[in-house]
Structures are given as C-alpha cells and as structure tokens.
C-alpha cells in the first residue's frame, strides 16, 4: 500500500449530531404484507385527508384489558389509573373510562378534562411536581387522591384541608436512585430519609389521611428489577407508616411499562427485547407477589394502583402519511419526503416506529433500496426513519407509521404545519374524533394591536380570547358541599377472595 502524506487526515473526535443516532440500517422491509388492522388506508386518506391519525377502538380496549388482567390477582384490589398526559384525546380517555380505568392527572388542565369526561373526583389520582393552588383546592374538596411531591406541597395541602375543614386523601411520592440514576426530580427522596420525615409529618397532621405510597420509576422500563427495588422501598415506607399509627391502604407503582413499540437499539436491552403477547406478566408477578407478602401492612387486602400510559395506548394508533417527493441523495440511499413530520411524531427520538407501505399494488418483499424518510418541515432534522429497506416507494404512496398512540397527540405541535384529523375505527365504521386544524385554529388566540395593523389586515382584530371578549363562565365550586358518593375503590376490579 502506498502512503502519501498529503492523503493523511489526522484523527478527530466529533460529537455526532442528534440526527445521526439512527445508525442501524435496513431494520425492516416496508410491505403491505404486514398490514392486518388497517383495511382501507387509502380510502381513509381520501375521505379525511393526509396525514391522518387512526385509532382502532377494539385494539385500544384489548390492550387495556390485557394490561389490567395481568395485574388482577386474588387478594389484591387493582385499579388502573390511565395516565392522561400520554394521550388526552377525549375519545381515547372516554374509551378507557368505559373500560373501568380511573384517571391519573398531572395538571389543572388534565384535572378539568377528567372531570369534564365524567370522572368523579374520587376516581382521580393527582400527581406531578406542580399542582396549581386552585386545582389542589378542587382536588381536596372533591376527594381525589393527591400524591404529594414534596414538603412545600405537604404544607400547602394540609393548609387547604384545614381551611376547607376536611381531611385530604393523600399519597406520598417517593424517589430513589438505582445504579446511580433516578427520577429524583419527583417526590420525597428515600435515600436521604425524606420519606420517613414526610410520614412523620403526616402522622402529626389532623388534616391528612395517608392512603398510598407512590413511586413512578421511569418510562419504557425494560428492567423488572427497577420495580422490585421500588416496591421494596414502598413496603418499607408502609412499615414505617404503620409504626407511626398511620393506615396506608395500598401502593401506587406508577406507570413506565413498555409497549410493543420498537425502541431504538441504543435504548433497548443488549441483544434486544421481545415484547409481544403476555409481556407484562413478569412485571405483574414481581409486583403483586411482593405486595401480597406484605398484605398485613395494608389491612390484609392491599390496593394496587397502576398508572400506565404508553403500555395501554401506544399500539392502537397509527399515522397514515403520503409520499410527496422522492430524491436521490447518492448511490446508497433514496430520500422520500412525506407529509407528516416530527412535529406530529416527537417520539421518533427514541422509537423506530414500524413503517409500512400500505398502498395497494407491488407486494414484493425484496429489499430494493434503502430509504431515508423525511417529514415535510423545512428543517434537515425532520427525519422519521433512516435507512429503511423497501422494494419501492413512489410519490403518492401511502405509508403507515405504527404505534403512535403515546405522547404523539399530546406532545404534537403546530410548527410550520397544522395538525391533521384523527379518526377512530369503531364497530360502526370510521368516526372523526378530532377534525383537521386550519390556520385560523393556530392563530385563534392572537391579536394585532391597532397601531400595527395593515389597513388590508382583516384578521386578528376582534378576538374572543382577549380581554373584553366574551369570557368563559367561571367554574364555581362549593368546597363545603361534600356529597357522599361511592369511593373510587368500589369500582376497582376485584379478583378471587
């Protein structure tokens, strides 16, 4: 080999840009062959436009039931409190409510949504590091369980309950580090002894009823041991609570359970993880057996609350998108541009969402070319998948991006493009559950002051949302009225003795 000093390039270390993470080529073949639950994709797009979110109601119900059933065991009262932030399309939440889910909320907006959907306050678990005072007052008065996040909030809830002349139903959220890391932004730090201090404060407070000990240990947690460690600490906390004269009734282990979705290899277990069928069972076995062993700490029949998000909603929603352009970047890969971007699919950062060409016609599964699939936004970083192998993709083809039910709707944004319609496939056929946005929806809250308005500008003049426009009637809550309603636990699923 001839060495030429002029060819020599000194080695250098470069930080890979965010977009370079999708380094695993040819992970799948796009094909119509895999599409079983999207019968009329092209017709749907013709009728409701492209892109289009499609929720399959039966799949949503099935996934919820499979999850709930995995954690339903004799001797434990299990409540699945769906984590509303994961997907707060009202039709999705309403479906899960019909299935018997309670509601887990993390803000005033979500609390108001849950109540508007018909949830009784007693069926709501209120979490999160910021709970607005008004929302806390409402939650305490309406007998929601408030999972307290820290000492400031503990004092606030106690004071609210004292003012209202009630005892607040509370849980204490706990955090801990596992192998040096943890979600320590939240809750009372177990490692620092704060959980014990908080329990002691609750024991000395006449306005607080301790119902639960709570932890949410992460998201898409593939390592069961994390839950084992969490439960161990929750049970230890319950033992301390008992020693102080408190009577916790159960534990809330949060969410974090994985879905069937394809997590990017860099976030997966070494060698990959298989998540199909009954893959929640091992989590359930571990959690339920630990709680049963400690049943005497919870009055003999413990309550188990779970707050799944992605586990129950991820797989039932797909996004249909149309190829709008095709380019040859080099000999290796072809680029296609589709009409749905990362503003609708923020989860492409950590998921390799399965991608399927659903247009009728070419059925070949042969790997013709490697494709980079870009979204429509005027940004190089708007890329849905890199290096997917496909027989052929052409302009006009409809592609399906799978498992987009978690955190896509709720984290989507109107950046450059408006957001598409969503239909639900029901027994009665497709029903539009969210209409397509128009540019007017995006700018509905804006106003151009008189001195800035061009004479030709007809919009942004009068706006109902600005001071002086018709206001929403204020929500009046009679905090003192506390009708006796059934406890949410009466709706929990009981199995066996």
Ligand X SMILES: Cc1ncc(COP(=O)(O)O)c(C=O)c1O
Nearest to 356 by CA among 23, 33, 42: 33
C-alpha distance across the termini of the chain, in Å: 79
Return the number of the residue (83 or 322) whose C-beta is nearest ligand X.
83
Return the number of the residue (217 or 337) whose C-beta is nearest ligand X.
217
Return the number of the residue (256 or 376) whose C-beta is nearest ligand X.
256
Bridge-based pairing of strands 124-126 and 102-105 is parallel
- Looking only at residues 172 through 231 of this chain, which bind ligand X when binding is defined by CB under 6 A? 216, 219
- Half-sphere exposure of 44 toward its Cβ, with a 13 Å CA cutoff? 30
Segment lying near ligand X (by CB under 6 A), choices 63-71, 131-139, 301-309, 410-418: 301-309
* CA 149 to each of CA 118, 122, 127, 175, 218: distance values in angstroms, whole numbers, following the listed order: 26, 19, 8, 10, 16
Return the number of the residue (313 or 433) whose C-beta is nearest ligand X.
313
Torsion of Cα atoms, 382 then 386 then 389 then 394, to 10°: 20
Phi, psi angles (nearest 5°) of residue 81: -100, 100
When binding is defined by CB under 6 A, the residue of 57, 63, 77, 104 that contacts ligand X is 104
Min separation Cβ 214 and ligand X, Å: 8
Min separation Cβ 215 and ligand X, Å: 9
Return the number of the residue (44 or 80) whose C-beta is nearest ligand X.
80
Contact pattern from residue 71 through residue 100 relative to ligand X, giving x for each residue in contact according to CB under 6 A and a dash for the rest:
------------x--x--------------
Return the number of the residue (104 or 352) whose C-beta is nearest ligand X.
104
Tell me the C-alpha distance between 252 and 95, whole Å.
23
Angle subtended at Cα 18 by Cα 355 and Cα 24, rounded to the nearest 5 degrees = 45
Tell me the C-alpha distance between 271 and 275, whole Å.
13
- Looking only at residues 383 through 442 of this chain, which bind ligand X when binding is defined by CB under 6 A? 406
Min separation Cβ 407 and ligand X, Å: 7
311 scored as a contact of ligand X (CB under 6 A) = yes
Min separation Cβ 104 and ligand X, Å: 6
Are the C-beta atoms of 47 and 429 separated by less than 8 Å? no
Return the number of the residue (256 or 354) whose C-beta is nearest ligand X.
256
Min separation Cβ 235 and ligand X, Å: 19
Segment lying near ligand X (by CB under 6 A), choices 241-249, 306-314, 334-342, 375-383: 306-314
Min separation Cβ 247 and ligand X, Å: 24
| Closest residue to ligand X: CB criterion | 309
Are the C-beta atoms of 318 and 403 separated by less than 8 Å? yes
Nearest to 60 by CA among 35, 79, 82: 82
Nearest to 415 by CA among 361, 447, 378, 452: 378
Return the number of the residue (172 or 388) whose C-beta is nearest ligand X.
172
Min separation Cβ 51 and ligand X, Å: 23
Distance of CA 204 to the CA centre of its chain: 36
Tell me the C-alpha distance between 93 and 313, whole Å.
10
When binding is defined by CB under 6 A, the residue of 248, 309, 375, 376 that contacts ligand X is 309
Beta bridge partners of 238: none
* CA 155 to each of CA 111, 152, 162, 215, 459: distance values in angstroms, whole numbers, following the listed order: 21, 5, 11, 20, 47
Min separation Cβ 113 and ligand X, Å: 16
Segment lying near ligand X (by CB under 6 A), choices 69-77, 253-261, 441-449, 486-494: 253-261
Min separation Cβ 302 and ligand X, Å: 19
- Looking only at residues 119 through 178 of this chain, which bind ligand X when binding is defined by CB under 6 A? 127
What is the per-residue burial (b if ≥16 Cβ within 10 Å, else e) of 430-445?
Answer: beebbeeeeeeeeeee
Return the number of the residue (216 or 357) whose C-beta is nearest ligand X.
216
Min separation Cβ 85 and ligand X, Å: 7
- Which own/partner contact pairs does 472-476 have at CB distance under 8 Å and 24+ positions apart? 475/112
Min separation Cβ 57 and ligand X, Å: 20
Return the number of the residue (128 or 302) whose C-beta is nearest ligand X.
128
Return the number of the residue (123 or 417) whose C-beta is nearest ligand X.
123
Residue with tokens 């749905």: 340
Return the number of the residue (149 or 205) whose C-beta is nearest ligand X.
149
| Sites of contact with ligand X (CB under 6 A) | 83, 86, 104, 127, 216, 219, 254-257, 307-311, 406
């Amino acid at each position: 080999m001839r060495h030429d000093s002029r060819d020599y390039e000194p080695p250098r270390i470069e930080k890979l840009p965010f977009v370079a993470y999708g380094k695993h080529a040819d992970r799948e073949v796009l094909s119509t062959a895999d599409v079983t639950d999207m019968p009329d994709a092209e017709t749907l797009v013709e009728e409701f436009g492209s892109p289009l979110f499609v929720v399959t109601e039966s799949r949503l119900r099935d996934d919820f039931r499979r999850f709930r059933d995995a954690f339903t065991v004799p001797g434990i009262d299990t409540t699945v409190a769906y984590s509303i932030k994961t997907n707060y399309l009202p039709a999705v939440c309403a479906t899960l409510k019909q299935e018997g889910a309670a509601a887990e909320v993390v803000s005033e907006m979500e609390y108001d949504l849950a109540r508007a959907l018909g949830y009784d306050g007693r069926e709501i678990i209120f979490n999160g590091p910021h709970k607005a005072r008004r929302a806390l007052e409402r939650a305490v008065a309406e007998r929601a369980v408030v999972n307290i996040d820290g000492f400031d909030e503990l004092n606030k809830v106690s004071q609210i309950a004292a003012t209202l002349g009630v005892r607040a139903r509370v849980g204490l959220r706990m955090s801990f580090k596992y192998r040096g890391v943890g979600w320590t932004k939240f809750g009372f730090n177990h490692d620092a002894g704060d959980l014990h201090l908080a329990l002691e404060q609750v024991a000395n407070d006449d306005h607080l009823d301790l119902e639960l000990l709570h932890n949410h240990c992460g998201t898409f947690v593939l390592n069961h041991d994390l839950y084992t460690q969490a439960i161990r600490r929750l049970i230890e906390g319950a033992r301390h609570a008992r020693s102080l004269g408190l009577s916790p009734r159960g534990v809330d282990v949060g969410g974090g359970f994985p879905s069937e979705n394809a997590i990017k290899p860099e976030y997966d277990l070494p060698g990959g993880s298989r998540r199909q069928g009954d893959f929640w069972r091992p989590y359930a076995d571990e959690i339920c057996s630990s709680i049963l062993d400690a049943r005497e700490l919870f009055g003999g029949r413990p309550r188990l609350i779970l707050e799944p998000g992605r586990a129950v909603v991820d797989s039932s929603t797909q996004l249909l998108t149309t190829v709008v352009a095709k380019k040859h970047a080099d000999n290796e890969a072809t680029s296609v541009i589709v009409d749905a971007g990362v503003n609708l699919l923020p989860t492409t950062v950590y998921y390799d969402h399965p991608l399927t060409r659903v247009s009728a016609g070419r059925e070949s599964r042969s790997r013709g070319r490697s494709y980079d699939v870009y979204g429509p936004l005027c940004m190089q970083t708007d890329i849905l998948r890199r290096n997917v192998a496909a027989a052929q993709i052409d302009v006009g083809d409809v592609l399906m991006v799978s498992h987009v039910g978690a955190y896509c709707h709720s984290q989507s944004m109107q950046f450059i493009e408006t957001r598409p319609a969503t239909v639900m496939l029901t027994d009665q056929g497709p029903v539009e559950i969210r209409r397509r946005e128009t540019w007017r929806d995006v700018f509905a809250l804006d106003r151009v002051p008189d001195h800035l308005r061009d004479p030709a500008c007809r919009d942004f003049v009068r706006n109902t949302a600005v001071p002086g426009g018709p206001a929403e009637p204020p929500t009046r809550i009679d905090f003192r009225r506390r009708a006796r309603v059934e406890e949410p636990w009466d709706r929990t699923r009981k199995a066996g003795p």
